[in-house]
Structure 1
Amino acid sequence: MPPPDGPRDAWVTLPDEGPDPTALPEVRPRDDRGRAEGPGEAALEQGELLAGQYQVVRRLGRGGMGDVYLALDRKVDDREVAVKTLRPEQLAPRLGSLEDERQAFADLHHEGIIPVFNYGRHARVGPFLVLPYVDGLNLDEIRALARHDPDRFGGARFHEFVLAYGLRVLSALDHLHARPGPRKVYGDLKPQNVMHDGVTTKVIDVGSIREEGAPGLTTEGFRAPNVPLAPPALAGASAPHDDLFSLGETLRTLSGLGIGPHSLAELGALDRMHDGDPVTAQAAALTTTPAPEGLGLVSLARALRRATRPEPAERYADADEMADQLRGVFRELRSLRTGQETFEPSPLFMQSPYALDGALGVAPVLPRWATPAGGVPPAPLHEPPSAADVAARLPVPRPDPHDAHHDGLSRLADADPAALLQHTGDWRDSPEVRLLRCRLRLRVAVRAEHAEGERPDLAPATEELRGAVDGIGRELSRHDWRIDWHRGLLDLANDDVASARDYFDQVYGAIPGEYAPKLALGHCAERLGHWHEALTFYEAVRLRNPSLGSAAFGAARARLALGGATPDTYAIEALDAVPQHSRHRTVARTATVRIAVEYATTADGLRTALTRLARLFNEHGLTDEQARVRMKAEVWEAAQRLVADGKVGAEALTRLSEAAARRDQDARDAGGRLEFPDEEVKLRRQLSQFYRALARQAARSDSPHADAVAERLLDRAYLVRPLGLWHRRDRSRPPLPRSWRTGRRPAVDR
């Protein structure tokens, strides 16, 4: 319990863990400090009756708009009410009569705004408002109590509650800002004007509400820098984006991030990604409760920074946009803290169907076996996909609902880009159509690069982006994250990763609750060798939405690249978390087999690989027979290597065969059975058979190097097969490609 001169005490009951971003603790004051007599001389005396109905009990306090008194409503069961006197000079001059004023307050019916019961005038104190009496804690008192005893608010979970306060207040602000007719603003938002009473929150001090652009009270430290202080006729004149600034600064103060809005830029910089960053460590020591984990601190700082930018055009466009981003950051903070999924479809991006798995999520390609002994080894498992492939396959922004072609754009399938260009060729230009064509022309260029082996020709895509900028307008496009997103894609496709990173960084600053820019920044970090930064981004996305295979693969690659004691364990855990219902589950389970094989150094490690291989065939959807042979060849290779190195003996090999035989009994089909051998001779013979099967695959492929690959595979088959002393006449020789039988260097046998 706080000391008598400490923060006001309260009972705090935490809500159940859940994905609701507006859930808050129940807070009940333990003391009557909120009822105490306010300092200074009261203008109204105890027992005085106002309007023949409201009997004054005591003065509670003095604010910028006037004094507040506790009173009893003698006509309604002596209910407690708060009487707020309004100083005439502070009344907003937006309405011409007291009756208009009363009607204006009566129309402000919202659960997050304290209602006005009545309105009157007293001969000595002038106009007054009658409101419900709320004996809760304001956000300044909540902050003090959380700093004194963080555990009452769940430690780091408190920052999620900060976002919940923000979402509730944004709902109230949207009610003011989106009203028909002249828009209203609150004008004086600050921690003392938001009350937490039980399970509800209320914006109080409604006397500061006024029409947009009308003068009124503001508070230093929470006032946007563009709000004028003079002349008197304009002092405090505010717009909706100024309310968002005040809310952002209120939430920053509540969370304890830095010492002012300028601190948020430093806390949200990508430089904070480095492990042991001193700026982050210093900021974490000052937060109200323990700081959010992982990327959470950066995302929270960025969400509040956009609200508190000095230039109004750089702030959120409206309360709804800010609410979308706060919800996204909430989901990120919760998933990082609990390790639990907190998924909700993105309002700004469509989910990509691509796993961006590089070479990790597929069976080994045939050229893997074409490298001669002592030659260049194959690429490591953590080799990321090419920058151009990533640029063509990152999530796609949802079309602007106000665009003339919104309905048509929303119905387009992820089809062949050339076909889509033809389909939309006669559509009238709009910014969204231009952005679509930019992406389609980028994909066409990337395909041509794969086919011809040259750098992609991005000039047509760049020209489409210029058209989109012209359609939006040069000035407006400076603040449109979609333009930066497409510039980042073009730079990434051109392999200018550092420049692409800068553009995606701008997008992350504009929409910090979205996962797509974090995926893009994770890929940029991979290409630049910033593996810890890559892991930080990928983990934030993966934990929030485990179904997103691209984040799981990115996290796995980063873990493997960083090394350490057991990088394979962490990588496999990330891929195992991709759920069974995900479209990426087969490639994810394929990757776990390949990682298990790569890191197998004992019989136990080999057993793990065999178990995962059997499940891949029978439970996780790998039904392609050619891929199955390649996967078995990789596992049998590892087994043969361990046997040759003396790490798996004859007894261990027998036990592995017996365990595989038990699993084979549950196989769904013959192709799903492993039939793992129990002797080294059988192991080598089967591996030789796999190599010959792969040689046939290579000979029938379209690759210009098919013959060379096939010959290398046959060499491997002959090298690994056990020596025999006689021919087995009852065993037929596997057929070779027709060209080999005729002795000509052929065209490929199809």
Structure 2
Amino acid sequence: MKCAQPGCTGTVVDGYCDVCGMAAEPGGSAATAPAGPTHPTPATTAPVAAAVDGTPCTQPGCTGKVLDGYCDVCGSPPASVTVAPSVAAETQPLSGGDASVATAASSVRSAAIGSRLARATGSVSRRTRTGSQRMRAARLGAGLTAVPPAPPVDASKAINPDPQVPEDKRVCSKCGAAIGRTVDGRPGRTEGFCPQCGQQFSFSPKLHPGDLVAGQYEVAGAIAHGGLGWIYLARDRNVSNRWVVLKGLLNSGDPDALAAAIAEQQFLAQVEHPLIVEIYNFVTHEGAGYIVMEYVGGKSLKQILKARMGENNGEYDPLPVDQALAYVLEVLPAFQYLHDLGLVYCDFKPDNLIQVGDAVKLIDLGGVRRIDDEDSAIYGTVGYQAPEVAEVGPSVASDIYTIGRTLVVLCMEFRGYQGTYLHTLPPPETTPLFREHDSLYWLVAKCCAADPADRFASADELRAQLIGVLREVVAARTRGTALTSAASVLFESPATATSVLTWSALPSLRPDTTDPQHAWLTTVSATDPAERLTNLAQAPEDSAEVLLARAHAALELEEPARAHAHAAELLAADPWDWRALWVDGLAALQERDWSAAQAAFSAVYQQVPGELAPKLALAVACERGGLPEVAEGLYATCAATDATYVAPAAFGMARVRADRGDTAGAVAALDMVPSTSRGYPESRQLRAEVLLSDAGAAPAASPGPRLAVLDQAMRSIESVPMDPAARQRYTVRILTEALGVVTAAPGNGQHDVTVGEHVATETGLRAGLEKAYRALAREAPLLEDRVRLVNQANAVRSWTLT
């Protein structure tokens, strides 16, 4: 079956596309992840019934129909398993720093949620919901950015001609002590026992060129040294002499232990995914065990970073943020695939992701283990491994942690990540990368939260937010020149494009179709909020969606206290449900409690950092709550990232700039609203208002610049369809202001200057004013108004002899 993803040419093999890695079914593999007894339950997916061909696509805004199990327009499955995302990193208010810190949304106080709320209320700090299954894979860069291709590496050139481990790299695999070092001028031993713990070590290659392993694999040489010894390149004499890699499985002479280890690792041969290196076989040779795997001839991200450093005169040169995000985005489906099988990768880091051409592949499955495995050795790397692994073992949450740490290492020189910041992140106020990319900071902070329950619940949930952050980063780099729109899986688009955003005009939450009462809620059709509340009181179960519906109805009735109460019920049931804080923020806006609204929306932003709706809501709360710099930055992000957010965000930026007297900045913000937007006519009127205010504030001794501003104001209202009476009222205001400028200036006007279509002379402006007054008189419904306007027309007209 062909892959149903738009633009993909792959074929579905064993449930996954062999090109993009997308699952053929929302549930991925039929295998489910066994729950570990001492650490958070991994994300699992419920089976989804197949939809009948011809049924409408369920994706918001899509007009397609289901064909062969997938939409013929957007490629989505007909009933994606969607569970409301949860959790965020515990945050603290920021203080100090330079001027840029004052404009960062990270400086806004955040409401308690997740483990912080659970501890405060006495709830158990444990995730109770599975991860979202709303989004799956995309190609490298997701069509948003370009990543330079990595040329394939000839296998024969990958062989190390002199396989030696430098002394400074020789450490005990058990206790981490330095071993095999020079003593009193004598070179360190390459084989022996650790003086600290007695663990046997060997840094000498066990296989040599020409050795035949298991009667099938002819060794060509060593290519690298890993935690279990040397890694070798060999040719498979039984399968077209293809190149394979042999990696040590167990450094032990105990045949029984070796047999048990091989049996324990056999499940790796079942792992088949286009983004994961393939395991071919398990073999023994002279008492040692080896995994035989696919040779991936490319460059690891660690090698790419080293090459960049070499080209930068030895100075660390991190990847551009968009490229780092693209790499992680691409590999996330592989993690979701493993987690769907009940496996955890354990040891993700830049060394273990290889790029070949424009694709990546996850290598080194030596640390992969079952989630419920409590006996096998745990492999990890200092600086990447989650802090709880030593006590409770690896989990989906600990894999998410390694992904977050890897992302930081790719994006910046993460000094102290194996020491000072072993289990923390550097503060954003002292970290340029985090100051510049607020959303990236919260994404990483959520990945690397101290409490596993506060991290992303699944790789898919992380991916949904990471792609939003990538869009923001690309938009910031291109300054919005490549502006597009992308439907959110969590929020509707902004409802209106007006100059003033109320709570009801902010984006609405999309319903969670996996809620047990979702079907029942579709039967509640009352439009009157009071009647709807009565109907909602009869719900079979007070599920999350029912509580949210009650809260929304209370907001429509302007009963914010009641909305707060329903939000509190939702948080009591699940301290990680950020939707309750979204409701709290809307209710706080109704109450004009700007501080509370800021705290609520800040918490939502931190939990879904790739979404624009919380940023827009937080911007409104900050604008009205005395934080205009933060508001302006958030508005700018929204306007640059998504076309559907341009109008409301541009209006917000214009208000902030106009309030501080920045007329040029306010006009520039309003000019961002495209002519295709529903808010374009209002933006032209507001533009005229801003220019009129600026013309009135200009010095009287500068008639030329003042007339130029008034000309812009006139042309703003002439450029859009408008109510005739409103247009004439603007004309009267503008020409009256211009007439005052002309009559106060020497020379009684400027014949080479116009205000709209009117020459900027006293005669020309009076003629225009007379015409406007008479047009208003014709439209006036009351006789006294008509008389008054005609008198004003007569009074303003130029004197003549006829």
Partner of 2:305: 143
Residues 257 and 263, structure 1, Cα contact 8 Å, conserved in 2: no
Greater mean alpha carbon deviation, residues 340-349 or residues 325-334: 340-349
Deviation at 1:72, TM superposition (A): 1.9
2:694 aligned partner? 599
Equivalent residues of 1:258, 1:264 under 8 A apart: no
For residue 721 of structure 1, what is the aligned residue in structure 2?
795
TM-superposed deviation, 1:488 = 1.9
Task: Report 1:572-583 matches (<5 A).
Answer: 572-583=667-678
The corresponding residue for 1:12 is: none
1:55-106 CA deviation, whole Å, 9 max, x = no partner? 1121222212343111122233433221112116799x99996786575223
1:467 is displaced (CA, Å) by 3.3
Counterpart in the other structure of 1:201: 360
Are the aligned partners of 1:349 and 1:397 in contact in 2 as well (CA < 8 Å)? yes
Matched residue, 1:510: 607
| C-alpha distance in structure 2 between counterparts of 1:573 and 1:198, whole Å | 42
SS of the aligned residue for 2:546 comes to: helix
Count matched residues: 600
Give distance in 1, aligned partners of 2:539 and 2:226.
59
Distance 1:435 1:267, change over 3 A: same
| Alignment partners' CA distance in 1, 2:652 and 2:400 | 35
Please say if residues 212 and 219 of structure 2, whose CA atoms lie closer than 8 Å, have aligned partners that are also in contact.
yes
Counterpart Cα distance in 2 of 1:631 and 1:537: 32
Q: 1:28 aligns to what?
A: 151
- Do the aligned partners of residues 484 and 560 (structure 1) sit closer, same or farther apart at CA in structure 2, a change above 3 Å counting? same
Which residue identity is paired with 1:38? P
- Whether 1:61 and 2:227 are equivalent positions in the alignment is no
In the alignment, is the contact (CA less than 8 A) between 1:555 and 1:574 conserved in 2?
yes
Give the match for residue 472 of structure 2.
332
1:248 maps to which of 381, 404, 413: 404
- C-alpha displacement at 1:651, in angstroms? 4.1
- SS for the counterpart of 2:516 is coil
Contact 2:499 2:648 in 1 (8 A): yes
Distance 1:723 1:56, change over 3 A: closer
Alpha-carbon distance between aligned partners in 2 of 1:67 and 1:613, rounded to the nearest angstrom: 75
Change (3 A) 1:577 1:648: farther
Name the counterpart of 2:567. 465
1:543 paired residue number: 640
The answer as to whether partners of 1:267 and 1:298 remain within 8 angstroms in 2 is: no
How far off is 1:680 after superposition?
Answer: 3.3
Structure-2 separation of matches of 1:506 and 1:296: 19
Secondary structure of the equivalent of 1:228? helix
Q: Does structure 1 residue 38 correspond to structure 2 residue 194?
A: no
Provide the alpha-carbon RMSD of the alignment.
Answer: 4.0
Q: 428-437 vs 21-30, which deviates more?
A: 21-30
Deviation at 1:568, TM superposition (A): 3.4
SS state at 1:436 partner: helix
Question: Identity over the aligned pairs, expressed in percent?
Answer: 28
Task: Check 1:54–1:409 CA distance in 2 against 1; reply closer, same or farther (3 A cut).
Answer: same
1:118 aligned to which of 272, 281, 288? 281
| Partner SS for 2:293 | strand
1:173 to 330, 335, 339: 335
Q: One-letter code of the match for 1:354?
A: T
Is the 1:342–1:544 contact (alpha carbons within 8 Å) kept by the matching residues of 2?
Answer: yes
Q: When the two structures are superposed, what TM-score results if normalisation uses the length of structure 2? A: 0.67
Highest RCO, 1 vs 2 (Cα 8 Å, sep ≥ 6): 2
C-alpha deviations, 1:358-409, integer Å up to 9, x for none? 3xxxxxxxxxxxxxxxxxxxxxxxxxx6xxxx33332111122221333565
Which residue of 2 is the match for residue 341 of structure 1?
483
1:303 to 443, 447, 450: 443
2:732 to 633, 657, 665: 633
For residue 391 of structure 1, what is the amino acid of its counterpart? W
Query: Structure 1 residues 560, 120: closer, same or farther in 2, change over 3 A?
Result: same
Q: Distance in 2 between matches of 1:263 and 1:394?
A: 37
**Displacement of 1:655 after TM fit?**
4.5
Change (3 A) 1:651 1:243: same
Q: Which residue of 2 aligns with 1:396?
A: 508
Among residues 556, 571, 584, which one is paired with 2:679 in the alignment?
Answer: 584
**Structure 2: where are the runs of 5+ without partners?**
1-138, 165-202, 696-704
CA distance in 2, matches of 1:498, 1:90: 66
* Alignment TM-score, normalising by the size of structure 1: 0.71
SS at match of 2:399: helix
Counterparts in 2 of 1:140-289, with a 5 A limit? Answer: 140-147=302-309, 149=311, 158-179=320-341, 183-214=342-373, 215=376, 216-228=378-390, 237-256=393-412, 258-259=414-415, 260=417, 267-268=427-428, 279=430, 283-284=431-432
Match of 1:104 in 2: 267
CA distance in 2, matches of 1:422, 1:94: 67
- The alpha carbon displacement at 1:17 in A equals 12
Q: Distance in 2 between matches of 1:19 and 1:721?
A: 66
Q: 1:523 and 2:646 equivalent? A: no
Instruction: Kindly indicate whether the alpha-carbon contact (under 8 Å) linking 1:72 and 1:78 is maintained by their aligned counterparts in 2.
Output: yes
Instruction: Give the conservation status (yes or no) of the 8 Å contact 1:308–1:315.
Output: yes
* Bigger shift: residues 429-438 or 219-228: 429-438
For residues 506 and 425 of structure 2, the distance between their equivalents in structure 1, rounded to whole angstroms, comes to 27
Q: Which residue does 1:350 correspond to in 2?
A: 492
CA distance in 2: counterparts of 1:628 and 1:684, whole angstroms: 12
> Would the alpha carbon gap of residues 655 and 502 (structure 1) be closer, same or farther in structure 2, given more than 3 Å must change?
closer
Q: What whole-Å deviation, never above 9, does each CA across 1:392-437 have from its counterpart, x for those lacking one? A: 3321111222213335657989966456546655444322122122
For 2:304 and 2:340, the matched residues in 1 are separated by 29
- Give, in angstroms, the shift of residue 51 of structure 1: 1.6
Aligned partner letter, 1:353: A
Contact 1:57 1:71 in 2 (8 A): yes
- Match of 2:23? none
Deviation at 1:721, TM superposition (A): 3.2
Matched, 1:322 2:462: yes
Q: Matched residue of 2:283: which SS?
A: strand
Unaligned runs of 5+ in 1: 1-15, 273-278, 285-290, 359-384, 446-456, 662-674, 701-706, 729-750
Flag the 1:606–1:111 CA change in 2: closer, same or farther, 3 A. same
Flag the 1:568–1:121 CA change in 2: closer, same or farther, 3 A.
same
Counterpart amino acid of 1:57?
A
* Partners of 1:654 and 1:678 within 8 A in 2: no
Distance 1:241 1:493 in 2: 37
Structure 1 counterpart of 2:546, which letter?
V
Rounded to whole Å, the distance in 2 between the matches of 1:576 and 1:90 is: 75
Match of 1:537, SS state, is helix
Aligned-pair CA distance for 1:510: 0.8
Deviation of 1:507 after TM superposition, in Å, equals 1.1
The structure-2 alpha-carbon separation of the partners of 1:189 and 1:352, relative to structure 1 and needing over 3 Å to count, comes to same
- Cα distance in 2 for partners of 1:329, 1:726 equals 67
Sort the Cα spacing of 1:102 and 1:219 in 2 relative to 1 into closer, same or farther, 3 A: closer
Q: Which amino acid aligns with 2:492?
A: M
Change beyond 3 A, Cα 1:678–1:150: farther
**What letter is aligned with 1:186?**
Y
- Indicate conservation of the 8 Å contact 2:585/2:598, yes or no: yes
Corresponding residue for 1:128?
A: 290
Q: Which amino acid letter does the alignment assign opposite residue 222 of structure 2?
A: R
| Cα distance change on mapping 1:423 and 1:594 into 2, 3 Å | farther
C-alpha displacement at 1:310, in angstroms? 0.9
Pairs within 5 Å for 1:660-675: none
Q: How far 1:720 sits from its partner (Å)?
A: 9.5
- Aligned pair in 2 of structure 1 residues 414, 348: CA closer, same or farther (>3 Å)? farther
2:765 alignment partner AA = E
Whether the 8 Å contact between 1:603 and 1:648 is mirrored in structure 2 is no
Q: Pick the aligned partner of 1:485 from 582, 586, 604.
A: 582
Which has the larger displacement, 324-333 or 537-546? 537-546
Tell me: CA distance 1:660–1:427, structure 2 relative to 1, closer, same or farther (3 Å).
farther
Q: CA deviation at 1:356?
A: 4.6
For the residues of structure 2 that align with 1:626 and 1:409, how far apart are their CA atoms?
A: 45
Tell me the SS of whatever aligns to 1:26. Answer: coil
